[in-house]
Every structure is written in structure tokens, then in C-alpha cells.
């Protein structure tokens, strides 16, 4: 496979979205993640900072400063082929089915019902915006299986981000899923 304009464009798009090189490679097909990374570098867009990561300034000697004074006209040919929908679908308010669960009432006890470090929760909310939003069938051993949303509605999906090696959830969700176990020890019954 070669780097056609379309493929490069998809590469840029996905890289910009923060997709990993391997994911991009998978999507493109015919290339390895190494190829993707190599291309990314050649394109000079290795830095994914969107303007909020001034922290890292490698003390590496850069013989070629590469000013990057690009001023591409970009006539915008936009030959968008069949691109996978962004996933933001119109959601026809659950037809043929009244809300099984009373509005505003507690959903099935999400594991986060207890006290979890506010940090962890904040982290979750943060990453859930980047979730792949997979369906049950799309889950693999390598995708986070954390459920999000209300199973009774269309607004339900699984995180799908890369799992923490071995575990069933991504880093953020591992944080709220595995608790030191403490609260409920004396459960009289």
C-alpha cells in the first residue's frame, strides 16, 4: 500500500483525534503501526499537543529547526469517500417503550455508587468523552468493557478504550472499578 492523499488525510485526521498509531494502522489496513508512526514523523506532525502541552521540550539537539512555515492553499477538494459516521446519531426518543426507569431515579447501581476518589471520577468523565463507544459485540479482550449510560435506552455503550494490560477496563475505569474493598464488610443479613 502507498500513502495516497486519502490515506494520508485519514492518518492526519485520526492522529489529530488522538488515535493511536496501531489503531490508525488497523483502520488504514496494509500498513503497520510503525509505518504510521514513520509517516507521522515525516509529515512533521508528531507532536499531538493542541496548544496545551508546553511541558515537554526534549533536550535533544535539533540540527534542523524546521520552522514549518507552511501556507498551503488547501483548495479543499474534499473527496470524502465513505467515512464511518462520527457516531453522533440522532436519537429518536425511545419509541414503543416508555421509560422503564422513572425519570431521575437511580439507574441500576453503577459501581461508582460509593465513595470513589474524586480524581478517579473526574478522570472517568474525562476519558468517557473519548470513549470508542462500542457495542457489546465489538468488545474484545483488549477493549475496556465499562458500560456507560442507561441500558434501557439507546444511549448505552461500552467504553472501548485500550484496556490496562490484562484487566477488563481501561486505566481510568480500572481506577473506579477496583476498590480497596472496605465499605461493605459488615453486611448484616
Residues between 44 and 103 that touch DNA (CB under 7 A): 46-47, 58, 60
For position 148 contacting DNA by CB under 7 A, the verdict is no
Q: How far is CA 37 from CA 10, 51, 84, in A?
A: 14, 21, 22
For position 162 contacting DNA by CB under 7 A, the verdict is yes
For position 138 contacting DNA by CB under 7 A, the verdict is no
Strand, helix or coil for residue 134: strand
Instruction: State the number of binding residues for DNA (CB under 7 A).
Output: 27
For position 39 contacting DNA by CB under 7 A, the verdict is yes
CB of 28 to DNA, least distance (A): 10
Alpha helices in the chain (DSSP H): 5-16, 21-28, 33-42, 118-128, 171-177
For position 123 contacting DNA by CB under 7 A, the verdict is no
- Tell which one of 6, 17, 34, 135 touches DNA (CB under 7 A): 34
Strand, helix or coil for residue 112: helix
For position 31 contacting DNA by CB under 7 A, the verdict is yes
Strand, helix or coil for residue 64: coil
8 Å CB contact between 158 and 145: yes
Of the candidates 111, 130, 118, the residue with the CA atom closest to the CA atom of residue 183: 111
Q: Which is nearer to DNA, 39 or 176 (CB)?
A: 39
Q: Which is nearer to DNA, 38 or 108 (CB)?
A: 38
- Tell which one of 10, 12, 33, 149 touches DNA (CB under 7 A): 33
How far, in Å, CA of 149 to CA of 135, rounded?
Answer: 12
Residue 41 burial (CB count, 10 A): 10
For position 23 contacting DNA by CB under 7 A, the verdict is yes
Q: Which residues bind DNA (CB under 7 A)?
A: 1-3, 19-23, 31-35, 37-42, 46-47, 58, 60, 142, 162, 165-166
Amino acid at each position: 500500500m502507498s500513502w495516497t492523499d486519502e490515506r494520508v488525510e485519514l492518518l492526519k485526521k485520526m492522529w489529530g483525534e488522538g488515535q493511536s498509531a496501531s489503531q490508525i494502522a488497523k483502520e488504514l489496513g496494509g500498513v503497520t503501526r510503525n509505518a504510521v508512526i514513520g509517516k507521522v514523523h515525516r509529515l512533521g506532525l508528531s507532536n499531538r499537543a493542541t496548544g496545551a502541552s508546553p511541558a515537554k521540550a526534549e533536550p535533544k539537539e535539533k540540527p534542523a529547526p524546521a520552522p514549518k512555515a507552511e501556507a498551503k492553499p488547501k483548495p479543499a477538494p474534499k473527496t470524502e469517500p465513505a467515512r464511518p459516521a462520527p457516531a453522533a446519531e440522532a436519537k429518536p426518543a425511545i419509541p414503543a417503550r416508555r421509560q422503564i426507569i422513572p425519570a431521575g431515579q437511580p439507574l441500576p447501581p453503577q459501581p461508582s455508587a460509593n465513595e470513589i476518589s474524586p480524581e478517579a471520577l473526574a478522570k472517568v468523565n474525562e476519558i468517557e468523552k473519548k470513549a470508542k463507544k462500542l457495542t457489546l459485540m465489538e468488545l474484545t479482550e483488549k477493549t475496556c468493557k465499562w458500560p456507560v449510560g442507561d441500558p434501557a435506552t439507546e444511549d448505552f455503550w461500552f467504553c472501548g478504550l485500550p484496556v490496562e494490560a490484562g484487566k477488563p477496563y481501561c486505566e481510568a475505569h480500572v481506577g473506579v472499578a477496583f476498590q480497596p474493598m472496605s465499605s461493605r464488610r459488615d453486611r448484616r443479613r
